[in-house]
C-alpha cells in the first residue's frame, strides 16, 4: 500500500512558535500551539517514518516513536534543523518562526523609564529559504500563514524558497490556522497543481499532506 512508502524514510518536522528574548523575563512570540506539526509527526510515525520533531515551546506531549528536539529561539531552531538536514529525506516546516528578534538581548531586566520606548529589531535567518538553497535529494515542504491572496503568496514561496510543496492556510478564516484542532488548507505543488481541502481535523490535514508527499516520493523514484 502507499503507506509503506514512508517506512524507514527520515522525516524532519518543525512545529510550534519561537521565542525571541528582550531580557531575562520578556520575549516576543506568536500564537502557534504546535498542534499542526505534532499531528504531522504522529501520522508520519504511524506510517513507519523515522521522525525527528524539532519543536519550539509548546504544552503538547511528543507523539509515540518520534524523536523530539526542543528549541527556544529561531536561531536554535535553525541549528537543530541543519544538524538533521543532510540525513533527511523529507523536511516539513510547520513551525511559526519569528522573522525578527530584538537587536539587543539585555542581560538584566530592562527597567521602566518615563515616556514611550522604541525598540530595534533585526531579521532572523529564513530557515526555509536556506534549506531551499542547500537542498540536494530532500523533499522540502513549507507552510504559508497568510491573511489574503493565498494562491499568489503560496506560488511565490514555492519559487523563492525552492520548495516542493507549500501548504497555505488563511489564518483569518474561522477553523483555520493557529490554536484550534482543525485547519483549512490548500496544498500547492511546483507543477502548478493544487489540492484545496475543506475544513478538516489537523490529523486529517496531516494525512492529506503525507499522501501528496508519498506521491512525490514515488514520482522521484521513477525518475
Residues near ligand PMT (CB under 6 A)? 32-36, 74, 93-97, 99, 124, 126-128, 142-145, 169, 171, 177-179
| 110 versus 171: smaller Cβ distance to ligand PMT | 171
The least distance separating ligand PMT from the CB of residue 41, rounded to whole angstroms, comes to: 12
Q: Which three cell numbers stand for residue 143?
A: 507552510
Can you tell me whether residue 153 is helix, strand or coil?
helix
What contacts 90, CB < 8 A, 6 or more positions away? 9, 10, 11, 12, 49, 138, 139, 141, 213, 217
The least distance separating ligand PMT from the CB of residue 109, rounded to whole angstroms, comes to: 27
> Please, are residues 104 and 23 in contact by the beta-carbon 8 Å criterion?
no
| 2 versus 173: smaller Cβ distance to ligand PMT | 173
Residue list for the binding site for CTP: 99, 109, 143, 157, 161
Residue 65 annotated among the catalytic residues of the structure? no
CA distance 223 to 158: 21
Out of 30, 162, 169, 183, pick the active-site residue: 30
| 5 versus 140: smaller Cβ distance to ligand PMT | 140
- How far is residue 75 CA from its own chain's centroid? 14
Catalytic residue set: 30
Amino acid at each position: 500500500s502507499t503507506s509503506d512508502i514512508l517506512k524507514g524514510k527520515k522525516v524532519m518536522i518543525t512545529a510550534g512558535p519561537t521565542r525571541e528574548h528582550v531580557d531575562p523575563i520578556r520575549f516576543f512570540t506568536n500564537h502557534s500551539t504546535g498542534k499542526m506539526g505534532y499531528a504531522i509527526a504522529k501520522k508520519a510515525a504511524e506510517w513507519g517514518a523515522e521522525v525527528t520533531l524539532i519543536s519550539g515551546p509548546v504544552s503538547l506531549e511528543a507523539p509515540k516513536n518520534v524523536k523530539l528536539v526542543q528549541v527556544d529561539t529561531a536561531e536554535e531552531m535553525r541549528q537543530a534543523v541543519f544538524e538533521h538536514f543532510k540525513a533527511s529525506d523529507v523536511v516539513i516546516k510547520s513551525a511559526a518562526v519569528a522573522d525578527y528578534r530584538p537587536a539587543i538581548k539585555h542581560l538584566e531586566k530592562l527597567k521602566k523609564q518615563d515616556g514611550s520606548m522604541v525598540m530595534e529589531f533585526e531579521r532572523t535567518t529564513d530557515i526555509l529559504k536556506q534549506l531551499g538553497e542547500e537542498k540536494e535529494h530532500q523533499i522540502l515542504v513549507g507552510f504559508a500563514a497568510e491573511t489574503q491572496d493565498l494562491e499568489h503568496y503560496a506560488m511565490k514561496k514555492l519559487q523563492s524558497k525552492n520548495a516542493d510543496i507549500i501548504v497555505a492556510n488563511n489564518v483569518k478564516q474561522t477553523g483555520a490556522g493557529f490554536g484550534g484542532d482543525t485547519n483549512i488548507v490548500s496544498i500547492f505543488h511546483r507543477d502548478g497543481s493544487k489540492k484545496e481541502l475543506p475544513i478538516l481535523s489537523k490529523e486529517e490535514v496531516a494525512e492529506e499532506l503525507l499522501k501528496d508527499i508519498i506521491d512525490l516520493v514515488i514520482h522521484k523514484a521513477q525518475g
